[in-house]
Each structure stands twice: as C-alpha cells, then as structure tokens.
Structure 1
Amino acid sequence: MKTRLCLPLACAFLVTGLQADNEVYRTWTDSQGRKLEATFRGIENGNVFLQVRNGYVYRLSLDKLSAADQQAAKTLKPEGLGIPADPNLAQAAAQIDMLVEAGLKKAGQQPNPLASDEQFIRRVFLDLAGRIPTREEALEFINDPSLSKRAKAIDRLLNSEGYTSHLFNYFADMLRMADVAQKARFYTYQDWLKEQISQNVPWNKVVHTMMTAEGKLLENGATGYLLRDAGMRLDNLSLTLSTFLGANVSCAQCHDHPFADWTQRQFYEMAAFFGATETYGAKGNAGAGMQGIRKVLASLDNKKLQQQAKNLLRVNALAVEDTSENDLKLPDDYKYSDAKPGDLVTPKLITWGDDKAKKAYQGVQTTKHDEQLRAQFSKWMTSPDNPRFAMTIANRMWKHIFGVGVKEPVTDLDDPNAAANPPLLHHLANEMVRLKFDLKQFLRVLCNTDTYQREATSHELADNTPYLFPGPILRRMTAEQAWDSCAALVVGTDVDKFKGHRGATYAKAMSIDLSGGASPDVLKEQIETAVASMRQFGGGKAEGNPKNRKKRMMNQGGEEDLTLAPPVRNGLVLARASELPQPEKDQHFLRMFGQSDRQIADSESEEGSIPQVLMLMNGEAQRVIGQNDSLVIKTAAAQATPEQQVESLYLSFFSRKPRANELATAVAGLGSGMTMRDLTWVLFNTREFIFVE
C-alpha cells in the first residue's frame, strides 16, 4: 500500500480544514499533541487508517496516536467502505462521491445506505467479471474479517479472465461485432479486441489503432472496424462520431442538422479524412494479383469449387488501404450556397467552443499527403485535448456499472451541461485523461466509491427526472451476464478456461497470396487447399449439431486448446458468451434475453418478455442447472443436513444465506417430497436471481 508516513504524519496534523459538520468526522491527536480532522476507516495490522476531507487516506501506526485515540481506534466502528487499496485511489473515489452528494443535496435527496457484503460481492462480480460468484467465492468474501476485503475483491476481479470476457461483450455490442459481415468471418477482429482488453491497452490507443489500421482482415484484426462498413464511408463516419465522441450527426449526411450546429458540408469535410481510404480491396496491394486470380478461377471446371473459390477471394480481398488521392465529393443533390454539387471536399475538423487553440488541432489541416489523412483524424479524435473523446468513454463506463449514464443517451453529448450532474460529467472526463485512458484503473476508481457501493435504487425512475445516483439502479442482468451466470452454476470457475482463438486458425486456413507474384499453378494449389479448409467454418447441418459444433470450436481453438473444450449439456455449449458465436442463433438463451443482432450499435435489450419467462421456466438452461452433474446440485448434495443443503443453494444463486422463513419453507419442502432440482427451479425463477441488486 502506498503511504506517506513521514512528511504527511507531520503535516496532516497541522491541517484541520473546516470544523466538522458531520458526526463521522472527529478530531484525532497524535502523541506530540498535533490534531487532525478525519473519519475512521479502520484498524489493521497495527495501523490506523484516517480519511481527511479531501478524500486522502493516511495510514498511521497506532502507537503514534495519543493514548485516548489509541483506545478510540480499538473501539470505534469504521466509517464508509473500510480500508482502501491505496490513499490516492481513496482520494480519487472521494472526489467523485463529493460531486454526487453535492448534486443530491441540491435536489434535496439523500444517498442510499451502504450495500451489505452479500449485495456488494454479487454486484461487483456481475459488473466486473460478468457472472455471479460461486458458493465458495461468495463465502470466502463474506467470511473474510479484513476491512480491506472490498478493495481487494475489486482488484482481483479487474485482473480476472472474466473482466476481459465481460468488457468484450460490452464493446461487441457497441461496435456491432459479428462473426459474419461483408460475407466474411471477422474472427481476427474479435480476437484482436480481446487481446487489447486482456493487455489493458489504453482506450485512446485501441481506437487510434482501429482508425489507422491497414492491410488484410486476415492479417490485421484491427482493420475490422472500418471493414465492418466496407464501401460506406459516410455511414462509418456517422457511427464513429456518435460512438467515440457522442456526436449524433447522422441526419447531417443529407442536410444541415436541425437541432445541432452541424452542417452537411461540415459532415462531408470530416468524411474527407477518409476520402483516400479504400475498403473494397479492388485497388493497391490487395488487388495487384486480381487478374491472375481471375484466370485461375476461370480454369476451375467444378462450378461448386469455382463459387467457393470466389468466396475465398472475397475474404482475402477484404482489406484497408490508403491511396494517394482524396476523392470525396459533395453529393449531386447538395443544395446550399457555400459550394456546388460534385465539388471535391477539403478535409476540415469540427470544433467545439474555443478548441481551435488546443494541441489536438495542431498541424491537422496543413497536411499535403492524402494518405496521412486518416492518421491525422485519429490523432485529433483520440487526443486528451479533444473535449468529447474522454467524456464519451467515461460516460459509457459509468453507465456500464451504474446502469444509467450521467448524460443520456450516451451517443449524444452535444450539450454536456444538459447532463444529470454536469460537474460530475466534466470531472469524470478529466479523470479519464488523468488516468491516461486506462479503463481498468478508471473502473477501479468507480467501484471504490461510496456511490457504487450503496444499495441499489429499486423504485421506478420518474420520466424526465434526472437520476442523481444515490446508488446504482436496480437493473436486469444483460443477456451475457445471465448466460454466464447460468454456466457458472453448472461448471463453476471452469467456465473461464475455454478460449476459442478462432482468428489465427481461420486466417491460416483461408489466406492466399494476392500480391501477384505467384504462378497460376501455385495459386490454384493455394485455392484448393484453402477451400478444403473452409468446411470447418461453414454452415449446414453440422452448424446445429452440438457434438459437431463442439468439435469445430475445439479445432478453431488450435490443438493446444483441445483439453479446454467446453462441456455440452442438453445441446448447450457451456462456454462464456464471449466465446460463442457472435451473435448466437435466434432461439438461443442469449438472443431470447436481448443479445443484440449486431446490426445496430448499442442495441442490446434488457426489457422483459413472455418468451424470457418461458425460457426460465421450461428452457434448456434451467434443466441443465438442475441435473445431478451440475456443480450447484453436486455441492448442495454433499452437505450433511437439509438446512445446509438449502443454505448452499442460496449462496450459489444469491450470494447470501437464506432468511429464517426462507430456510424453514425450503426445508419443509424438501421433507415433503421436493427435490433439490425443484428448489433450483424455484430459485432460478425468482426476480432476485435475474437482477443486479
């Protein structure tokens, strides 16, 4: 733990600040008679932890305090969340709490009480790892007497496999990640993003890489972002601006924006930064060998093989390349007087307020090299000086764990002062910059706030009334959280072990040389070999057969992953949602519970429906959970008494022990013929299971 044990020990007791206006603050005195206004956060291993008004937490040796305060430290109840991971983190979290509480106070509202340990551990597992904790994980936390256990749990989950899986699910919805797009498989794009999350690459670098990526999709997964909208520069730019900058400008493609400052010409000037970017694969290096490839295709006698070879060619031609000329022009129906239809558009950046003097704009409009336009745009967009980039991802991450953004919708930040709490929104943007776009550290700060660790707000939110965050909102699990929690009930922590790694295998099987240097015979051999390899990635009857599907997933993972193949129960492949097809088939649990079809950004639904109820009551998931080989059943069955069996099931589903009346009812049920499978059905179908409390 980082501490300041010399200078702060001397200085802290000299700076008392304002007089305490809250009973949780008291005056502490050290052995030399110096005084400090602070709250008591706890005592551990002979050290006392005191938090001053600016949020910083000091760790002081107990014997440095006066005799009276040593006794007080041994008897006082700790305030707040206990001992933080480090003092700077505590200060950053406290600054957020202060802004939230100021907004609540202004509106005459009070924050919710702090959540119990049981509520906290289930919530933080779902929000950071994307699944509920197992019985053992819940008990380990609940029974831990340490005052620093919440901070330690947050750090452990942020460094878990589940963190990568869960954050990938969020970005997959945001970026419309699908297995199949442009008649090709985008596995390399998915694997690339998972690697970025796993390696904790800063968000600005992730986005910059996507915006500037070059080459074939098979060789550079980062090209997947631009290739998702291959040949549609304007649509891609519209999504880019709304996704990464919170600028809702889609209607400016056709006319001046009626509700914002954007004009149609400004939109085209922004799009011109991509005017020298080719995503069809018909020009440049990817198209150099097209003529030779077409001759080889014409020489193939088998029509089916010829069609398969054409599909193979399409996959290999899917690439991002920069040319030396910006060719973007105004549309033929352009109707404004500042330019003529068909005029070539010169790239120019949009500005907010007085941003022109900021470093993000330096040198962007003076470039004479069209092939560098994309890089210039990306440099501007992802710059810490860009007034919207940090704010947009900060607002998104806030919504990711609180359930509501400070500004809704998250795709429209045209007026940050229209947020529920503008000072909070601006502060979160500054925090994102301070943390250098480290999403893991940003979430670490948020989860260590009092605001996050308060009880969830369960009442219905009033229309047109801003939510000021007395705590997170009670919300239904996402489709992926629900599925991954079901899988964890059946196989426990093993659900995190399987990784598909389909990208590398797919690229190796499908790649052919388009450079134009290979002879026709070599090209033909490459094509025939690749076509044979295409079968493991195809559809047909094998796609729907669970045994074949499991085998295919194993093959795509590479030989080193064969021992980690996911189990299949009742036709369900029990792997993480992030490792299953993106998106799943229509009747799968994930789709029934609102998984996006990945055609529209941020389109996952958490709305309830009758099919969901039927899925919970009669679907494959509940049957698999109640089978004798399910972990939750095996663990409960191993307990000695009916009371302990019921307790085991409650801990597995809810991360808490049953209340007295619940225990009595369940034990009576087991005694009158109810089976543990019946009880899992009951618990699985409660509202408590499907909600993030």
Structure 2
Amino acid sequence: MSRRRSGFIPTLAGLAIFAGLTPTTLRADEVIVLLPAESALKTPESRQRLIVQELEKGEAGSQLVEGIEWSSSDPAIAEVVDGVIRPVKDGSATITAKVGGKSASSKVTVAGMGAPFAWGFREHVEPILAKQGCNSGACHGALAGKGGFRLSLRGYDPATDFFNIVKQDRGRRVELADPGRSLLLAKPSGGIAHKGGVKFETNSLDYKILAGWIASGATPPEDSDAVVQELEVLPSRSLHRKGQDQQILVRAKYSDGRVEDVTRWVKWSSADESVCRVDEQGKASVVGPGEGSIVAWYASKLAIARITVPYEAQSPADAATVDNRKTRGFIDEQIDKQLTRLNLPASPACTDAEFVRRAYVDTIGRIPSVDEARAFLSDASATKRDALIDRLLAMPEFADYWTYKWSDLLMLNGTRLRPIALKSYYQWIHKQVAEGAPWDKFVREIITATGESAENGPTNFYALSQSPEDMTENVSQAFLGLSIACAKCHNHPLEKWTNDQYYGMASLFSRVKAKGWGGEGRSGDGLRTLYAAETGELVQPRTGKPQPPTPLDGQALSFDDPADRRIALAKWMTSPENPYFARSIANRIWANFFNVGLVEKVDDMRVSNPASNDALLSAAADYLAKEKFNLKALMKVILQSNAYQRSSKPLAGNKLDRRFYSRYYPRRMMAEVLHDAIVQVTDVPTKFDFIAFPGADKEKTDFYPMGTRAVQLYDSAVENYFLQTFGRNQRRIVCECERSDEPTMVQVLHLSNGATLNEKLRAPGNRLARLLKLRQEGMSGSALIDEIYLSCLSRYPTEAEREHLLALLPRPGDKPEGEVVEDFYWGLMSSREFLFNH
C-alpha cells in the first residue's frame, strides 16, 4: 500500500559524511635528524642506508632527498655513497649529512672485516625468494608447487626448501661447479625461458648472493643459524602532507646480536591506502589525510611504520561549535591528543534526546519507553546522564542484550546443538552476565569446562569445536581476536604465527575427549560428557611428530605431565600480562558503543591491521585489567566520556573522519534490536518458533513464549524473515563477518510493504488503537504527536514538525484519522532517524 496518503515524508538531518584538514608548514628553526642514529656493520657485505628527516613538533616530519652532502669522518673505516654506508675496515666513524645550513650525524661501528664470510641459505637465499615472489602462493609456494618445483610458502620451512632446491631431482637445479648454469639462477635472470619472467638481472645483488652461495658449496640451513627475533622500522612514526613521499627503513635484529639493514628484501603493504601507499622498495606515497600504517614483512616477522597526515585547516564556522569540554578520563585524553595531532575539530555534545536513545540502544539493546524518555528529558539535574548510565548498567535487559552478544561470539545455534544442551549453554551465559562475572573468569570456565552438557553449559563449546584444530582456532579468534587458521598449513603469510606455533597451541587440546553425541544429526538425546584424558598427542603433519604443547608466545608444557593442559592455557590466556586478551575484549566493547572498533574488524587483531589509536586501545586494555576484567567498569567510562557523548552531526572540518572519534558515527541498529524497537513502538509482540535440529521435520518447541524479544532468543535457528533480511549473525563460524549491517533493496521493500511493520501497525489493540481511543476521549492533537515522537524517536517534535503534522491530522472521530496516524508512525519508523543509532 502507498504510504503517501497524508503527504508526510520524514527526513533525518545531520547524518552526513566528513571532509578533512592540513598541517601547518615547517618552521625555519626546526632541525633535521639522520636515521638510524647508530649502526654496526659486522660483515664485509653489511650495508646501512641512511635517511634524512626534518623534525616537526618534536617528531620526524618530511624526508629530505635533494641537496644532501654526505661525508664520513674516516673513509678508511666506512664510506658513504648516496646515503648508503659501506664498511672498509674495523673501527668507528661518524657519517654526516648537510642540507643547506643544517646538518645531522650518525655513528657507525665496523667489525669482523677480517673474518671469513659466506652467504647463508636461511639468512640470504630465502629472503630473496620471498621478495621476488618465488615462494608465494601464486608461484612455487602453492600447495602443489608449480612446474614440478615446490617451495614452502614464504620460506617457512628452510630445510625442505633446501632439499627441493639442492637435492631433489638429482640436484638438477644447482650446478656447484658453474653457478651461472644453475636453474635457480638461469631461469629468474632470463637465461632460460621462465614462466615467471625475469626476476633480477645478472649484475644485481640478488644474483650475486645466489651465485656466491652456490659457489661456496650451497651450504644447508643449520639449527645453529642466527634467526630474526624482531624488526625495527625507521621512522616508526612521521608527520606528512598530501603528495609527499617517505622511504621506510627496516633493520632485522638477529639472535646473535647483529642488526642488519634488510629493507631491500622486505615485503610491503599499506593498511589504509586512502592515506598512503607503498611500492616494492618501501617508499610510501601520501595520498590523503588520516593516519596510515605501512606494514613490513621479513622472515615471518612484522613491523609497522605509522604515517600521520593532518587534515586541512579548520573552518572558521567550526570554531563556535567545536567541543571544548574538559576531558573526562583517559579516553578523552587519548582521543583529544590524536584529534589535535590530526588537526580534527570535535563535534559538540549531543542533545539529551540523542543521548538517552543512544545509551539505551548501546547498553541494553532497546530504545527508551515513552515514560523513560519523557522522564529523562524533563530532568533538570546536571548529573542526570551519569545517573542514567548507572541505571542502565543495572537493568535486567543488560543481561539479555549482552548474553545475546556473547551467544553470537560462541555460536549458539540450534542446528548444531540439541535443545537441552543449547538451553543449558544459554542459561549459563545469562547467569554469568547477570551476576557480573569478570571476563577472565567467564573465559576460564569455558576453556577448562568438563562434565555433562545439560548440567555444565560451557562444555558445549567443545560440542561446537570438536577437533583440536577447531578448538584452537575458535578459542584464538573468540578470546584473543586472532585468526591463526592460515598457520595450520604453513607460516601465516600476513602474521607472525608459525606452523609450529599453531600445532603447539592445538596440542593443548589434544587430550579433550567426550562421551556421547556431540554434533549434528538426529540420533540420541544430545547429552555428552566432556573430560580431559591423561594421554594423547596431536601429530604435526610437517614433521610427523607431536609438537610440544605451547600457548602462543608462551612456555612449552611437558609431554609427560598428566594434568589438564587447558588449565595452563586458561591461566596464560587470561593473565593481565597477555598482550592479546585484554586488548581483544576492550576492542569488542569499544566497537559496541562507538560503532567503529579501534581495530576493524573487531576480531582481526593482526599486527598488520593496527588500531586507529593504539595508545587508546592499550590504555583501555590496561584499565580493564586493573579493574579485574569487570566489563561494566569499562562500559561506564566509555558512556561517561565526552567522545561517546558527542553529536553525530559532522562539522565542516571533520566530515571525512571515520576512524578517530571526532564525532559519534551513526549505524543502523542491529537486526534484533531494530525488530524489538518495532515491537516496542507498536506494542505487538512476535511469536518465535524454535527449530530443534536439521532433519527433525521442523519440530517446534515451546522455548519462546509470546512476548519473547529477539535479543532474548537462545540461538540463530529461529526462522524469522525480518531478522534474516536485516543481517542477523548466522553463528556458523566465530567471525564478526557473520553479521551484516549493509543496506539492501530487500530491506527497503520490506519496510515499505513487508509484513513486519505493516501488520503490527494494523494489529487490533496495538498502541495506535489505544492512542486513537484516547484521542476520542479528548487527547489533543499536540499531545498525540508528542506520544508518537517520544515512542519512536525518544524526543519531542520540533515546532515545524508539530505544525506540519497538526495540519494533516483530521478532527477526532473522523473516519480517516486512523489511517493518517498509521501513516505518521510508518513515516517515522521507516526513517533513518528511527532505523539508525545516532
């Protein structure tokens, strides 16, 4: 049916997008710096590249590349040509760079010039193969290799790579007596036809290294070889303007104490190409405002260089409205510091009406009732927002909403668990949330769960994850925000996690056993008993041997210890010192309230996916650990912050910002909350039916009595067209990607002509019917319109809106009045102001 009978077409102002700002120019009195400030060259083939940076506001600014005069205090010890230091003999020297009237210096120490030197397989050959893409997934690093030649992906297995290069097929790929005839050199240099094309020239350093390694006997990798322990990037943080370039340097720190410049062999990527891009040589190009991150990968290690590009000068029009309130704690301190650095103005405080609706939706998953909204708006006390926050955190709906959120995370799904097990799991989660169980306790009880599935709900985590591999992947993603599945077959190509670390983690679950039914199917009553055996190992496929049980970056456990390994895992995982645990849950909580995580997506806490404000995420994690993982404590400081209470309406100077919290970011309410809002406004509940399990002839149970809200559903097996259409979490995998807030034409059509909204607006005895009865009993048109706006939008109408609607409203008792009021409701409930949390 058409919804334009009354001529009422609602609009929503203030949900616009953002524009940016630029930094001030460098002052003449600011100086330059040479990076790195010190270097040590310990082999005849060691080199160190230097870069010259201007200093701006006490940190690295623009890179200088022209007009530089290089000199060495002692060329007999160290030479410098075009900014690259080459060792000559043992000793120390100072390298100086002069630009105009400014100069900077760097100290260099040379040692080991008289010691024998040979190129190594692990340290030199493997990095070349990785840089040239020879061991990438698209080339010989594919699972089946290419052209009969297979390498481990990005060199994660040097021993096997050495065998395949030097020994396999009777050593046909290497000619020790004549390195130039080696296929390893002839093909990538173009001497022999190569499907991968020419990778390097015969006069290149890469060719020289490979040829030198072969000529010296193609020595194999040894367990005693020095290995890379960490990477250092220079500059680690720098300030720039659009159009500028910045060379990034990378130094590898080895286990034998050496520090080598490995910039040449680094694999590069940009975490945000709208801010900066990077080429194969590590030169970053600034393309837009914001804070970008350049990711450097070398030898399965990662490091990040942050590039800050301030937005353009603030508009004079912003000055009168910018948020100048006093900071309220560490959240505002960190955000305001970054906004200043980025030259972003902060939008002013939101109105009381915006705050009350926003806080209800974000904290307890529903909109305020008419009485709740009216009471808050009429309260004149200066502390009413803080008082509301305390009430919300204590409301029973808090437990319903956050139980639903954690049920998404833990994949409660009636297609995979029998009803009695599902109910047990849900009720356990609800009890923990209602009682305010600390997050570390909550997670420990899940990880170490034992017993019968109907009596101890968290044991069902292991019914949904039945192999050691699934257990470790789901635990890592749910509670650490780490996706380590790629490391199951090889070292993670985008992270630091190795194949051995994956199986070390999985070995912690190798003794988890169960009796009874524990998966999908029709037989049995669904009851199972979970226990930890005293023996049993998981074989690492690559080595054919069990991998020592070891938490990620933790200490290995003994194979002989009969104790439940999950106890040690839980202790390591929930420790305040764990660098992943507190950050992961702090980021999830943050994303719920700000609609944008400090790390996006919230369960993708890769080093190569850095936070938009790492100092803030660290502060939030530290605060949570200090509060003994009381999630409500973090929620409270978020709700109280100026940042959370800012308007969603952009200023001229911040309308391009989507990551730095200069304003509140509007987002459509999640499917279940939106559904419940429609039910609340119309006062017409939905009857939900639970589908017990696949193949059960759609057996329906009485799990959900009439009046159950969508956020009170135990699982995602409920068939509901509205929830499906609006992107509810299907709970098939542990991934935030299972939920969608993307708009679709189907959603528009369903709101316009679908059953959910229209049938509830027409249902006998609904809110509309009661208001019409009051109208007949003498309710004024103005009071009627107030009720409509308070129930839908938690605010009073503006004078313009009131006058417009009063002109459209028939006299009491007139026949079309019901249709007009229905159109008023439909117009508001299909508007962005209703659909979005703003």
TM norm structure 2: 0.56
> Is contact 1:632-1:652 (8 Å) kept?
no
* 1:678 corresponding residue in structure 2: 823
CA–CA distance in structure 1, aligned partners of residues 581 and 368 of structure 2: 34
> Is contact 2:353-2:795 (8 Å) kept?
yes
CA–CA distance in structure 1, aligned partners of residues 666 and 694 of structure 2: 40
* 1:323 corresponding residue in structure 2: 533
Aligned residues: 503
- Residues 115-171 of structure 1 show CA distances to partners (whole Å, capped at 9, x for unaligned) of 000000000010011011111110010001111111111111111121111112222
Aligned partner (choices 342, 364, 373) of residue 138 of structure 1: 373
Amino acid at match of 2:727: G
Aligned partner (choices 332, 351, 369) of residue 116 of structure 1: 351
Q: Name the stretch that deviates more: 137-146 or 575-584.
A: 575-584
CA–CA distance in structure 1, aligned partners of residues 512 and 825 of structure 2: 55
CA–CA distance in structure 1, aligned partners of residues 602 and 654 of structure 2: 19
Amino acid at match of 2:595: G
* 2:99 corresponding residue in structure 1: none
Aligned partner (choices 777, 783, 795) of residue 644 of structure 1: 783
CA–CA distance in structure 2, aligned partners of residues 400 and 667 of structure 1: 38
> Is contact 1:390-1:433 (8 Å) kept?
yes
CA–CA distance in structure 2, aligned partners of residues 460 and 449 of structure 1: 23
The yes-or-no answer on 1:312 pairing with 2:447 is no
Amino acid at match of 1:599: R
Stretches of structure 2 lacking an aligned partner (at least 5 in a row):
1-321
- Residues 72-107 of structure 1 show CA distances to partners (whole Å, capped at 9, x for unaligned) of xxxxxxx9999xxxxxxx98x422101100011100
- Residues 450-488 of structure 1 show CA distances to partners (whole Å, capped at 9, x for unaligned) of 110111256999999761111321100001110121222
* 1:486 corresponding residue in structure 2: 678
> Is contact 2:349-2:646 (8 Å) kept?
yes
Amino acid at match of 2:729: S
> Is contact 2:591-2:598 (8 Å) kept?
yes
Q: How does 1:176-187 map to 2 (within 5 A)?
A: 176-181=411-416, 185-187=421-423
CA–CA distance in structure 2, aligned partners of residues 225 and 127 of structure 1: 27
* 2:384 corresponding residue in structure 1: 149
The yes-or-no answer on 1:382 pairing with 2:574 is yes
Amino acid at match of 2:703: M
* 2:500 corresponding residue in structure 1: 265
Compare the two structures and name the one with the higher helix fraction: 1
> Is contact 1:401-1:472 (8 Å) kept?
no
Offset of residue 374 of structure 1 = 0.9
Which has the higher relative contact order, 1 or 2, with Cα contacts under 8 A spaced 6 or more apart? Answer: 1
Amino acid at match of 1:195: K
**Counterpart of 1:278 in 2: which secondary structure?**
strand
CA–CA distance in structure 2, aligned partners of residues 272 and 429 of structure 1: 28
Bigger Rg over Cα: 2
Offset of residue 586 of structure 1 = 4.8
* 2:596 corresponding residue in structure 1: 404
Q: How does 1:34-433 map to 2 (within 5 A)?
A: 93-181=328-416, 185-230=421-466, 232-279=467-514, 281=516, 311-313=523-525, 315-316=526-527, 318-331=528-541, 334=542, 340-341=543-544, 343-351=545-553, 365=557, 368-415=560-607, 418-433=610-625
Residues 647, 633 of structure 1: alpha-carbon distance in 2 compared, 3 angstrom cutoff: farther
Compare the two structures and name the one with the higher strand fraction: 2
Q: How does 1:461-540 map to 2 (within 5 A)?
A: 467-491=659-683, 540=697
> Is contact 1:457-1:470 (8 Å) kept?
no
- Residues 285-317 of structure 1 show CA distances to partners (whole Å, capped at 9, x for unaligned) of x9xxxxxxxxxxxxxxxxxxxxx9x7225x12x
Offset of residue 632 of structure 1 = 5.5
Offset of residue 638 of structure 1 = 2.5
Residues 260, 553 of structure 1: alpha-carbon distance in 2 compared, 3 angstrom cutoff: closer
Aligned partner (choices 633, 637, 648) of residue 445 of structure 1: 637
CA–CA distance in structure 2, aligned partners of residues 644 and 102 of structure 1: 46
* 1:621 corresponding residue in structure 2: 756
Residues 422, 689 of structure 1: alpha-carbon distance in 2 compared, 3 angstrom cutoff: same
TM norm structure 1: 0.67
CA–CA distance in structure 2, aligned partners of residues 463 and 149 of structure 1: 30
Q: Report the RMSD for the aligned CA atoms in angstroms.
A: 3.4
**Counterpart of 1:321 in 2: which secondary structure?**
strand
Q: Structure 1 vs Structure 2: percent identity of aligned residues?
A: 28
Residues 376, 535 of structure 1: alpha-carbon distance in 2 compared, 3 angstrom cutoff: closer
**Counterpart of 1:441 in 2: which secondary structure?**
helix
- Residues 358-389 of structure 1 show CA distances to partners (whole Å, capped at 9, x for unaligned) of xxx6xx63584334201111110011111110
Residues 156, 415 of structure 1: alpha-carbon distance in 2 compared, 3 angstrom cutoff: same
Amino acid at match of 1:151: D
* 1:665 corresponding residue in structure 2: 804
Amino acid at match of 1:311: S
**Counterpart of 2:675 in 1: which secondary structure?**
helix
